[in-house]
């Protein structure tokens, strides 16, 4: 049989249940569109109030930033932390542990298949927003070419980091506190609330030292042509480093977690 | 009045259960504080680049954030948990119990669950409003306070009715588990003055998902921006939505009882 | 003067529409555009009458229509056809005066609030049913006594065992002294001891307060223990309505004879026993025969005369068997 069959089956299952829950997905997608939209509007208002541009962003450049941000956030989105909080609370993590396959695989496939299904809707939304807000950006060709690998790396880093954090559910029942702390930090430090260059310097440093910038902001900055070649290469290296670190942490934390879980008992 | 008596009983019973869990209080306080910090942090960052936003001064936007938390807290105190429970009970059949009780079922389902610790949001919201108004140096006249209270009342009825409408849709769309999330995610737009948004979004936030009436309008009352026409409009919308919610509830429960077959 | 019936049902009907879909990705997509609906007749025209104070069991396998019937009687479902009247009211109109006199208890579904002690849930019901304080206090006392609730009332409901929860559920449901009590599969999921306790309580309650009790179950034991009268429902049709004893008589033409033979004799006697009647089981030293009812005295005499019998018992067939025959006969 093998991993490929597992992936294929999981995709089918996810797809079937998604067709059933299409309204729920629609609602979730609205949320994903609305968040960047709100900040787009707010920052456009700021730009308009201060003579047309803020920190190197004009109104149409803000539009570009947030529309690209919307798509990048969507592609890199993970809900694994919420899921594991739920699973541990309802004792269904045991099912995942009983299977002869590492749960990270099913989670990964579930994640990717969900996004493939919602991608058309997001692209439609992006098109509408482009028509309404008329963004401008002109990336150099090499930057546009590097965008996809950077995006894939960003997704990998985010998935691995959040999957590892999700395992905190093994040690504490107050996972929601962990989740909240993480998502608050992410809101500021991954560039979702405002372009990182607009944040106070200390926050920018924090964003670069932590994986947040490399999870979401970096591909966006790249595609908007706001980075020179050197910065781009450093960024890719940082993504690679965080991915390696993340995978290492994932394995270690997983092993420790399973030990704790089986000691306490399902 | 009967409704108040019932509300008090449910509140008392719901609160009593939770009061034993002091840890939950502190966790909720922490969560609310972090939430509030994030909201105000965003305001700080935005206003580091400009003195006004759409004509609103930073303290006024802060007051808006306070209203956002106050109204949000009130919703999460009783409306949200009760409506969530309603949707669950439609799915697992425990709504049957409510329907065999000799009380108006809409009242019963609206007050059935109370998350007492959400009062922290409510309290923090009031605190933020107070501090913001102090820093503005506004003197709150009797009319402003009355206008604020009236705007909150109208906003409250509007938001409640909207939640009932959303929850009642689960009689038809049983599989939409996160239907209530519609309001919760769109409510986030209420952190900023609705005037900022492009006209089409403004209309959506006023009439489609009435977030504007929950946060911006009461904040307008506080900052002296509310006109009496707006207030009258708010009450008109409140009456309309309340009637619509009532109608949808009755049609929904009849459908649940297999009446349309 | 005859008391007017508590419950009257005439030609009651209920149909549902159900959407169907096959498995697979293709069908999943197809269902986005076209739905297939089928009519399912849950209850197909049943009639019966219950008098005040009766305890009646509705017996039937899963999906027979008994819960649907109960829901129509309690006002939760609107019938598709026929007439129904409970305590002089039309249930689905859900008049407050009606609702104050009935109660519903469902097995494995709770109306008690999960995180708080049962006593607090009682308070809620007191407010909802507007029970005067004095009546409430005496009801709580009586029910605590009858159900042995003492220490349970102060514990949060989620900390109670399944059986303890059921007892508290029953108490909460009866605080307002309803005249009609609807019980939907009340013993499902309970262990044998608790099942017996619940049945005993219901019987006691009925004797003490004269409430009309309608109970649905697929457990024969519930009905045997509680109800003199049983209504058998299958495929939405009423197959039998009468006394439990009569159920046996009507649907079985047989009796069983259990014969205990002297050591070692059983094997040899097997062939001979087979000629008296149908051998349905054989254990250490005893054989069970099924014999036509009319033949029982004659066969018994023959066995006693011909074989070295230590013990002989004549029994009615187990009621489960009876019910299976009722279903088999009345089904399809």
Q: Which of C249, C264, C283 marks a domain boundary?
A: C249
Do residues C90 and C28 both lie within one domain? yes
Which string of DSSP letters, residue by residue, matches C84-97? Answer: EEETTB-GGG--HH
Give domain status of residue C326, yes or no.
Answer: no
**Looking at residue C65, what is its pLDDT?**
87
Do residues C27 and C107 both lie within one domain? yes
Mutating which of A19, A116, A117 best tests the C interface, going by the most C Cβ atoms within 10 A?
A19
Q: How far apart are the CA of C28 and the nearest CA of chain A, in angstroms?
A: 6
Chain A: partners with 3+ C-beta pairs within 8 Å: B, C
The residue ranking higher by pLDDT, B178 or A189, is: A189
Q: Which of C223, C249, C275 marks a domain boundary?
A: C249
Query: Residues of B with CB below 8 A from A193's CB?
Result: 42, 45
Q: Would the CB atoms of A27 and B198 count as touching at under 8 Å? A: no
**Looking at residue C331, what is its pLDDT?**
39
What is the rounded CA–CA span in Å between residue C325 and residue C315? 17
Spacing of C-alpha C260 from chain mean position: 35
Phi-psi region of C107 (alpha: psi -120 to 50; beta: other; left: phi over 0): beta
Which string of DSSP letters, residue by residue, matches C269-280? Answer: HHHHHHHHSEEE
Measure CB to CB from residue A50 to each of B49, B173, B179 and give the nearest one. Answer: B49
Dig out the tokens for C82 from the structure.
């026929």
Give domain status of residue C195, yes or no.
Answer: yes
C19 contacts chain A (CB < 8 A): no
Q: Would the CB atoms of C113 and B17 count as touching at under 8 Å? A: yes
What is the rounded CA–CA span in Å between residue A199 and residue A21? 39
C170 falls in which pLDDT band (50, 70, 90)?
very high
Q: Would the CB atoms of B49 and A55 count as touching at under 8 Å? A: yes
**Looking at residue A266, what is its pLDDT?**
45
**pLDDT at position C77 over 50:** yes
* pLDDT beneath 50, residues of chain B: 260-261
B181 contacts chain A (CB < 8 A): yes
Mutating which of B32, B33, B48, B166 best tests the A interface, going by the most A Cβ atoms within 10 A?
B48
**pLDDT at position C191 over 80:** yes
C33 falls in which pLDDT band (50, 70, 90)?
low
What is the rounded CA–CA span in Å between residue C232 and residue C322? 11
What is the rounded CA–CA span in Å between residue C229 and residue C241? 7
- Percent of chain A scoring above 70 in pLDDT: 95
Do residues C232 and C274 both lie within one domain? no
Do residues C215 and C303 both lie within one domain? no
Give domain status of residue C323, yes or no.
Answer: no
Q: Would the CB atoms of B18 and C110 count as touching at under 8 Å? A: no
Please indicate, yes or no, whether the overall pTM of this predicted structure exceeds 0.90. Answer: no
**Looking at residue C332, what is its pLDDT?**
33
Do residues C96 and C219 both lie within one domain? yes
Count Cβ atoms within 10 A of the Cβ of residue B57 and give its class: 0-12 exposed, 13-18 middle, 19 or more buried.
Answer: middle
**pLDDT at position C30 over 80:** no
**pLDDT at position C320 over 80:** no
Q: How far apart are the CA of B88 and the nearest CA of chain A, in angstroms?
A: 15
Distant-in-sequence, close-in-space partners of C135: CB < 8 Å, separation ≥ 6: C177
Helix B142-168 crosses helix B58-74 at what angle (to 10 degrees)? Answer: 50
Query: Mean per-residue pLDDT for C17-28?
Result: 67
Residue ranges in A134-172 assigned as alpha helix (H): 141-166
Q: Which of B149-153, B155-159, C87-91, C233-237 has the lowest mean pLDDT?
A: C233-237
Do residues C53 and C192 both lie within one domain? yes
Spacing of C-alpha A157 from chain mean position: 9
Measure CB to CB from residue B197 to each of A41, A46, A200 and give the nearest one. Answer: A41
What is the rounded CA–CA span in Å between residue B9 and residue C127? 7
Do residues C245 and C257 both lie within one domain? no
What is the rounded CA–CA span in Å between residue A150 and residue A239? 8
**Looking at residue A130, what is its pLDDT?**
93
Q: How far apart are the CA of A90 and the nearest CA of chain B, in angstroms?
A: 16
Dihedral angle over CA of A99, A104, A110, A116, nearest 10: -150
Helix A175-189 crosses helix A201-209 at what angle (to 10 degrees)? Answer: 120
Q: Give the three-state DSSP class for A178.
A: helix
Give domain status of residue C127, yes or no.
Answer: yes
**pLDDT at position C264 over 90:** no
3-state secondary structure chain B: CHHHHHHHHHHHHHHHHHHCCHHHHHHHHHHHHHHHHHHHHHHHHHHCCCCCECCECHHHHHHHHHHHHHHHHHHHHHHHHHHHHHHHHHHHCCHHHHHCCCCCHHHHHHHCCCCHHHHHHHHHHHHHHHHHHHHHCCCCCHHHHHHHHHHHHHHHHHHHHHHHHHHHHHHCCCCCCCCCHHHHHHHHHHHCCHHHCCHHHHHHHHHHCCHHHHCHHHHHHHCCCCCHHHHHHHHHHHHHHHHHHHHHHHHHHHHHCCCCC
C90 contacts chain B (CB < 8 A): no
Measure CB to CB from residue A177 to each of B27, B53, B175 and give the nearest one. Answer: B27
Do residues C213 and C233 both lie within one domain? yes
Give domain status of residue C1, yes or no.
Answer: no
C243 contacts chain B (CB < 8 A): no
Find the distance separating the first CA and the last CA of chain C, reported in whole Å: 42
**pLDDT at position C219 over 60:** yes
What is the rounded CA–CA span in Å between residue C322 and residue C329? 11
**Looking at residue C305, what is its pLDDT?**
87
Q: Would the CB atoms of B258 and C75 count as touching at under 8 Å? A: no
Query: Mean per-residue pLDDT for A153-178?
Result: 87
Q: How far apart are the CA of B103 and the nearest CA of chain C, in angstroms?
A: 7
Give domain status of residue C2, yes or no.
Answer: no
Count Cβ–Cβ pairs < 8 Å, chain B vs chain C: 80
Q: Which of A49-63, B169-183, C296-310 has the lowest mean pLDDT?
A: B169-183
**pLDDT at position A90 over 50:** yes
Q: Which of C194, C222, C249 marks a domain boundary?
A: C249
Per-residue model confidence as pLDDT tens digits over A218-246: 999 999 988 988 999 999 999 999 999 99
Do residues C183 and C245 both lie within one domain? yes
Spacing of C-alpha A175 from chain mean position: 19
**pLDDT at position A202 over 60:** yes
Q: Would the CB atoms of B54 and A49 count as touching at under 8 Å? A: yes
What is the rounded CA–CA span in Å between residue A64 and residue A66? 6
Helix (H) or strand (E) holding C260: strand C254-261
C96-112 CB burial, b ≥16 within 10 A, e <16: eebbbbbbbbbbebbbb
What is the rounded CA–CA span in Å between residue B231 and residue B220? 10
What is the rounded CA–CA span in Å between residue C220 and residue C324? 11
Which string of DSSP letters, residue by residue, matches C271-326? Answer: HHHHHHSEEEEEETTEEEEEEEGGGHHHHHHHHHHHS-EEEEEEEPPPHHHHHHHH
DSSP class of A215:
I
Q: Would the CB atoms of B16 and C102 count as touching at under 8 Å? A: no
Dig out the tokens for C198 from the structure.
């619940």
The residue ranking higher by pLDDT, C37 or A225, is: A225
- Domain containing C308 equals 253-315
Do residues C73 and C210 both lie within one domain? yes
**Looking at residue A100, what is its pLDDT?**
73
**Looking at residue A17, what is its pLDDT?**
74
Sequence spans of domains, chain A: 3-264
Candidate ranges A206-215, C269-278, C280-289; pick with highest mean pLDDT: A206-215
Distant-in-sequence, close-in-space partners of C90: CB < 8 Å, separation ≥ 6: C84
Give me the number of domains chain C comprises. 2
Give domain status of residue C36, yes or no.
Answer: yes
What is the rounded CA–CA span in Å between residue A55 and residue B14? 50
Output the domain CATH number for residue C283.
3.30.70.980
Measure CB to CB from residue C15 to each of B13, B257, B261 and give the nearest one. Answer: B261
Residue of C181, C238, C237 whose CA lies nearest to C55: C181
Query: Residues of A with CB below 8 A from C25's CB?
Result: 12, 15-16
**Looking at residue C100, what is its pLDDT?**
93
Distances in Å between the Cα of C314 and the Cα atoms of C267, C268, C273, C322 are 21, 22, 15, 16
What is the rounded CA–CA span in Å between residue B210 and residue B249? 19
What is the rounded CA–CA span in Å between residue C202 and residue C182? 11
Query: Mean per-residue pLDDT for A182-193?
Result: 91
Give domain status of residue C88, yes or no.
Answer: yes
Q: Would the CB atoms of A50 and B31 count as touching at under 8 Å? A: no
Q: Are B216 and B64 in contact (CB under 8 A)?
A: yes
Dig out the tokens for C51 from the structure.
């008098």
Output the domain CATH number for residue C105.
3.40.50.300
Query: Residues of C with CB below 8 A from B9's CB?
Result: 123-124, 127
What is the rounded CA–CA span in Å between residue A210 and residue A206? 6
Query: Mean per-residue pLDDT for C10-31?
Result: 74
Distances in Å between the Cα of C295 and the Cα atoms of C269, C282, C286, C315 are 20, 21, 20, 14
Per-residue model confidence as pLDDT tens digits over C112-165: 888 788 998 999 999 999 999 999 999 999 999 999 998 999 888 888 988 899
**Looking at residue B260, what is its pLDDT?**
41
Residues across chain A: 266
Q: Would the CB atoms of C123 and B5 count as touching at under 8 Å? A: no
Residue of A190, A227, A220, A183 whose CA lies nearest to A207: A190
Q: Would the CB atoms of A34 and B41 count as touching at under 8 Å? A: no
**Looking at residue C265, what is its pLDDT?**
67
What is the rounded CA–CA span in Å between residue B259 and residue C6? 24
Question: Residue C209 phi/psi, 5° resolution?
Answer: -110, -5
Distances in Å between the Cα of B17 and the Cα atoms of A23, B55, B88, C156, C205 are 35, 46, 21, 8, 31
Q: Give the three-state DSSP class for C82.
A: strand
Chain C: partners with 3+ C-beta pairs within 8 Å: A, B
Dig out the tokens for A141 from the structure.
């060709």
């Amino acid at each position: 049989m093998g991993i490929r069959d597992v992936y294929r089956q999981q995709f089918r299952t996810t797809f079937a249940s998604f067709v059933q829950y299409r309204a729920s997905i629609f609602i979730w997608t609205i949320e994903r569109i609305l968040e960047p939209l709100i900040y787009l509007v707010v920052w456009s208002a700021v730009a308009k109030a201060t003579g047309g541009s803020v920190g190197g962003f004009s109104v149409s450049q803000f539009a570009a930033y947030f529309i690209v941000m919307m798509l990048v956030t969507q592609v890199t989105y993970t809900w694994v932390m919420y899921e594991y909080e739920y699973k541990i609370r309802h004792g269904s993590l045991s099912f995942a542990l009983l299977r002869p396959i590492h749960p990270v695989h099913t989670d990964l496939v579930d994640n990717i298949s969900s996004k493939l299904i919602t991608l058309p809707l997001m692209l439609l939304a992006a098109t509408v927003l482009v028509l309404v807000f008329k963004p401008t950006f002109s990336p150099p060709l090499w930057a546009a070419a590097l965008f996809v690998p950077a995006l894939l790396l960003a997704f990998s880093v985010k998935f691995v980091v959040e999957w590892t954090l999700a395992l905190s559910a093994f040690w504490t029942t107050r996972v929601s506190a962990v989740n909240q702390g993480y998502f608050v930090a992410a809101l500021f430090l991954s560039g979702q609330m405002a372009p990182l260059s607009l944040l106070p310097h200390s926050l920018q440093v924090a964003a670069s030292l932590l994986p947040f910038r490399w999870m979401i902001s970096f591909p966006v900055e790249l595609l908007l042509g706001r980075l020179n070649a050197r910065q781009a290469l450093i960024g890719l290296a940082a993504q690679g480093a965080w991915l390696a670190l993340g995978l290492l942490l994932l394995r270690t934390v997983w092993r420790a977690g399973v030990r704790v879980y089986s000691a306490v008992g399902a | 009045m009967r409704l108040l008596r019932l509300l008090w009983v449910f509140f008392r019973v719901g609160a009593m259960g939770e009061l034993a869990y002091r840890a939950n209080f502190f966790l909720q306080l922490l969560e609310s504080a972090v939430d509030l910090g994030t909201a105000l942090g965003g305001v700080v960052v935005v206003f580091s680049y400009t003195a006004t936003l759409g004509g609103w001064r930073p303290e006024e936007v802060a007051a808006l954030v306070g209203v956002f938390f106050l109204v949000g807290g009130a919703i999460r105190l009783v409306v949200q948990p009760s409506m969530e429970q309603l949707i669950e009970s439609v799915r697992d059949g425990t709504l049957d119990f409510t329907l065999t009780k000799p009380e108006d079922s809409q009242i019963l389902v609206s007050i059935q669950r109370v998350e007492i610790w959400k009062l922290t949001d409510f309290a923090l919201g009031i605190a933020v409003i107070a501090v913001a108004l102090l820093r503005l140096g506004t003197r709150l006249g009797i009319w402003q306070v009355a206008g604020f209270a009236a705007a909150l009342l109208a906003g409250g009825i509007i938001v409640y009715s909207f939640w009932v409408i959303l929850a009642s849709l689960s009689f038809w769309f049983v599989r939409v588990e996160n239907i209530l999330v519609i309001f919760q995610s769109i409510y986030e737009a209420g952190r900023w003055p609705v005037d900022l948004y492009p006209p089409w979004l403004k209309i959506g936030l006023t009439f489609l998902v009435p977030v504007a009436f929950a946060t911006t309008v009461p904040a307008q009352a506080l900052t002296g921006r509310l006109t009496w026409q707006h207030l009258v409009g708010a009450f008109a919308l409140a009456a309309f939505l309340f009637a619509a919610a009532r109608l949808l509830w009755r049609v929904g429960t009849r459908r649940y009882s297999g009446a349309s077959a | 003067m005859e008391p007017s019936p508590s419950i009257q049902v005439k030609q009651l009907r209920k149909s549902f529409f159900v959407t169907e879909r096959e498995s697979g990705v293709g069908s999943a997509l197809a269902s986005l555009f076209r739905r297939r609906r089928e009519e399912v007749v849950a209850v197909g025209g049943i009639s019966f009458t219950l008098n005040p104070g009766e305890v009646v069991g509705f017996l039937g396998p899963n999906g027979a229509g008994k819960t649907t019937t109960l829901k129509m009687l309690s006002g939760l479902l609107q019938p598709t056809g026929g007439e129904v009247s409970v305590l002089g009211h039309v249930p689905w109109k859900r008049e407050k005066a009606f609702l104050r006199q009935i109660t519903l208890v469902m097995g494995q579904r709770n109306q008690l609030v999960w995180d708080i002690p049962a006593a607090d849930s009682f308070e809620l019901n007191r407010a909802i049913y507007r029970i005067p304080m004095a009546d409430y206090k005496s009801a709580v006392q009586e029910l605590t006594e009858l159900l042995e609730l003492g220490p349970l009332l102060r514990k949060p409901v989620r900390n109670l065992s399944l059986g303890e929860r059921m007892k508290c559920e029953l108490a909460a449901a009866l605080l307002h002294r309803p005249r009609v009590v609807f019980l939907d599969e009340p013993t499902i999921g309970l262990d044998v001891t608790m099942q017996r306790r619940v049945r005993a309580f219901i019987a006691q309650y009925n004797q003490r307060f004269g409430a009309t009790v309608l109970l649905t179950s697929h457990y024969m034991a519930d009905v045997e223990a509680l109800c003199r009268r049983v209504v058998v429902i299958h495929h939405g049709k009423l197959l039998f309505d009468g006394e439990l004893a009569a159920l046996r008589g009507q649907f079985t033409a047989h009796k069983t004879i259990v014969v205990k033979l002297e050591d070692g004799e059983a094997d040899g006697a097997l062939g001979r026993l087979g000629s008296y009647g149908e051998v349905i089981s054989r254990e250490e030293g005893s054989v069970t025969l099924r014999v036509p009812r009319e033949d029982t005295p004659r066969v018994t005499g023959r066995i006693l005369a011909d074989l070295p019998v230590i013990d002989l018992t004549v029994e009615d067939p187990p009621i489960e068997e009876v019910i299976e025959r009722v279903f088999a006969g009345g089904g399809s």
